[in-house]
C-alpha cells in the first residue's frame, strides 16, 4: 500500500526492453544517434510543430536548465509559492541561472491566478537597479496539488507574462496525467496557449530516468546545448536516454500508462468518499488529497500504508482539515493495482472514526 509518490514504481517493461535492445551494437555519442533523432521527430509530431529537444536525466535538471535559459542572474521567475521548482529542488534553478530569484505567488489548489500574476508585475517595486527583473513565469502541469490548468487558464496567464516581456515555462512532470484529464491535445495546452519551453516528464510515468526539455520558441532558449553540457547532463551514451523515450512515446504508451494511474486515483478517491472521507482538492490527475479522521490515519499508518501528510496551506478554507483531521496526499502510478487500492480502502473501512 505505497501511495507515497509515482516515483516509487519501477519502469514499464516496454521501456526496459527498449534499453536492452539499444545495448546491441554501437551508436554515435552525445545525442547524435538515430534514436535521439527519432524521439525529436516523435515529440514534434505529438506537439504538431517542429521542436528542439534536449534529453536529461532528472526533472530538476530539466526545470533548472529551462529557467536558466530564460533569465539573467539578476532576473526573477514567477511561480506558485508551493511549486516544485520553489520548494523541492534545493535551489537548482537559482544555481543554474547564476542567482536568479524565484518569486512565489499565492493561489488555492496549486494554481496561480491571472490577478496574482498581474499584481506581481505591476505592483510597487524598487527602481532599477535595486530590484530583480521578472523575466520568466513557471507553471506546473499538473500542479503540486494535482490540479490541471486548462488551456484558457494557461493562455490568460501566459498572455499577461508575454505582455510584460516574460518567457513562459511549463514543469510537465505529470503532464500526461493532466493532459488526459483535460481531454486536450498536447499542442492546445502548451505552445498554442503561450508556453515557450517545457520540461516533458517521463520518469514518474514509467521511464527509468529521463526527461525531455522541449523548446517551442528558440528565441527564449539561450545556449541550452552549452548549458546542458556544462551542467553534466549531456550523456556520452545518449542513446540510453532516447531509447526510454522512444518506447515511452511509441503507440501512445505514455498515455496508456497515465490513463491507468488516473483511473486508480479515481477508484481510490471514490472509495474514500464512500467511507465518508472528504476530498480536499479536485482529482485532476493521479493525486488524491484526502482529509482523514485522526483514527483512520493512525490505523492506516499502523498497517503499513505509505503516503505523505500535507501542510494544507493551499487548500480552500472550507475544505481544510479541522481539529484532529489529517490532510494527506495519495499518489497512484502506472503500476498501482486494483488490489492495492482495494486493500487500502478495506483497511480504512475497518476503522471506527466517528467522533
What is the predicted pLDDT for the residue at 355? Answer: 45
Do 236 and 270 belong to one domain? no
Q: Is residue 233 part of a domain?
A: yes
Q: How do beta strands 101-105 and 167-172 pair? A: unpaired
What is the predicted pLDDT for the residue at 130? Answer: 79
- The CA distance from 218 to 220, in Å, is 5
Q: Is residue 1 part of a domain?
A: no
Q: What is the pLDDT along the chain (355 residues), one digit of tens a residue?
A: 899 999 999 999 999 999 999 999 999 999 999 999 999 999 999 999 999 999 999 999 999 999 999 999 999 999 999 999 999 999 999 999 999 999 999 999 999 999 999 999 997 677 778 789 999 999 999 999 999 999 999 999 999 999 999 999 999 999 999 999 999 999 999 999 999 999 999 999 999 999 999 999 999 888 999 999 999 999 999 999 999 999 999 999 999 999 999 999 999 999 999 999 999 999 999 999 999 999 999 999 999 999 999 886 788 888 888 888 899 999 999 999 999 999 999 999 886 655 4
Q: Where are the beta strands (DSSP E) in 293-340?
A: 308-309, 326-331
DSSP string, 189-211: TTGGGT--EEEE--GGGT-SS-E
- The CA distance from 7 to 267, in Å, is 20
Contacts of 191 (CB under 8 A, 6+ apart): 47, 49, 216, 217
What's the domain range around 287?
254-349
Count of H-run helices and E-run strands, the chain: 13, 11
Do 45 and 77 belong to one domain? yes
Do 313 and 220 belong to one domain? no
Closest by CA to 80, choosing from 157, 160, 190, 187, is: 157
Do 259 and 223 belong to one domain? no
Q: Say how many domains are in the chain.
A: 2
- The CA distance from 334 to 180, in Å, is 14
Quickly count: other Cβ atoms within 10 Å of residue 323's Cβ: 7
Q: How far is CA 174 from the centre of its chain?
A: 4
Do 263 and 129 belong to one domain? no
Do 46 and 105 belong to one domain? yes
Q: Note whether 301 and 345 are within 8 A (CB).
A: no
Cell output for 227: 548549458
Do 196 and 207 belong to one domain? yes
The enclosing domain of 70 has a CATH number of 3.40.640.10
Q: Is residue 216 part of a domain?
A: yes
Q: Report which secondary-structure segment, H or E, holds 94.
A: helix 92-97
Measured at the CA of 200, the angle between CA 35 and CA 245, to 5 degrees, comes to: 25
Do 193 and 258 belong to one domain? no
Among 226, 252, 278, which residue terminates a domain? Answer: 252
Q: Is residue 126 part of a domain?
A: yes
Q: Is residue 355 part of a domain?
A: no
What is the predicted pLDDT for the residue at 164? Answer: 96
Q: Is residue 81 part of a domain?
A: yes
Cell output for 243: 531509447
Among 252, 278, 296, which residue terminates a domain? Answer: 252
- The CA distance from 169 to 172, in Å, is 9
What is the predicted pLDDT for the residue at 317? Answer: 81
Task: Give the global pTM.
Answer: 0.95
Q: Is residue 55 part of a domain?
A: yes
Among 186, 217, 252, which residue terminates a domain? Answer: 252
Do 85 and 138 belong to one domain? yes
Q: Note whether 197 and 215 are within 8 A (CB).
A: yes
Do 35 and 177 belong to one domain? yes
The enclosing domain of 294 has a CATH number of 3.90.1150.10
Closest by CA to 268, choosing from 182, 213, 348, is: 348
Do 227 and 134 belong to one domain? yes
Do 245 and 117 belong to one domain? yes
Q: Report which secondary-structure segment, H or E, holds 254.
A: helix 253-274
What is the predicted pLDDT for the residue at 352? Answer: 60
Amino acid at each position: 500500500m505505497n501511495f507515497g509518490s509515482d516515483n516509487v514504481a519501477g519502469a514499464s517493461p516496454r521501456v526496459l526492453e527498449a534499453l536492452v535492445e539499444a545495448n546491441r551494437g554501437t551508436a554515435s555519442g552525445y545525442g547524435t544517434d538515430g534514436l535521439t533523432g527519432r524521439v525529436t521527430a516523435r515529440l514534434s509530431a505529438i506537439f504538431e510543430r517542429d521542436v528542439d529537444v534536449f534529453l536529461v536525466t532528472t526533472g530538476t535538471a530539466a526545470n533548472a536548465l529551462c529557467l536558466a535559459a530564460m533569465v539573467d542572474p539578476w532576473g526573477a521567475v514567477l511561480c506558485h509559492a508551493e511549486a516544485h521548482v520553489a520548494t523541492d529542488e534545493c535551489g537548482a534553478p537559482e544555481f543554474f541561472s547564476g542567482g536568479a530569484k524565484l518569486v512565489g505567488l499565492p493561489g488555492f489548489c496549486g494554481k496561480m491566478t491571472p490577478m496574482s500574476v498581474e499584481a506581481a508585475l505591476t505592483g510597487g517595486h524598487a527602481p532599477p537597479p535595486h530590484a530583480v527583473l521578472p523575466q520568466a513565469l513557471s507553471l506546473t502541469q499538473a500542479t503540486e496539488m494535482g490540479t490541471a490548468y486548462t488551456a484558457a487558464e494557461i493562455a490568460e496567464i501566459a498572455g499577461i507574462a508575454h505582455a510584460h516581456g516574460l518567457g513562459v515555462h511549463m514543469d510537465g512532470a505529470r503532464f500526461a496525467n493532466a493532459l488526459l484529464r483535460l481531454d486536450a491535445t498536447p499542442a492546445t495546452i502548451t505552445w498554442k496557449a503561450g508556453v515557450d519551453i517545457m520540461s516533458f516528464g517521463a520518469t514518474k510515468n514509467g521511464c527509468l530516468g529521463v526527461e525531455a526539455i522541449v523548446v517551442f520558441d528558440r528565441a527564449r532558449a539561450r545556449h541550452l546545448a552549452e548549458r546542458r553540457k556544462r551542467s553534466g547532463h549531456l550523456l556520452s551514451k545518449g542513446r540510453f536516454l532516447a531509447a526510454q523515450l522512444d518506447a515511452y512515446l511509441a503507440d501512445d504508451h505514455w498515455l496508456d500508462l497515465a490513463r491507468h494511474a488516473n483511473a486508480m486515483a479515481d477508484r481510490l478517491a471514490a472509495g474514500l468518499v464512500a467511507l465518508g472521507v472528504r476530498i480536499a482538492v479536485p482529482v485532476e490527475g493521479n493525486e488524491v488529497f484526502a482529509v482523514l479522521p485522526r483514527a483512520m490515519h493512525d490505523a492506516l499508518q499502523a498497517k503499513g500504508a505509505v503516503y505523505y501528510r500535507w501542510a494544507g496551506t493551499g487548500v480552500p478554507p472550507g475544505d481544510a482539515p479541522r481539529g484532529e483531521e489529517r490532510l494527506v496526499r495519495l499518489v497512484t502510478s502506472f503500476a498501482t493495482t486494483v488490489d492495492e487500492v482495494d486493500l487500502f480502502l478495506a483497511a480504512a473501512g475497518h476503522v471506527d472514526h466517528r467522533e
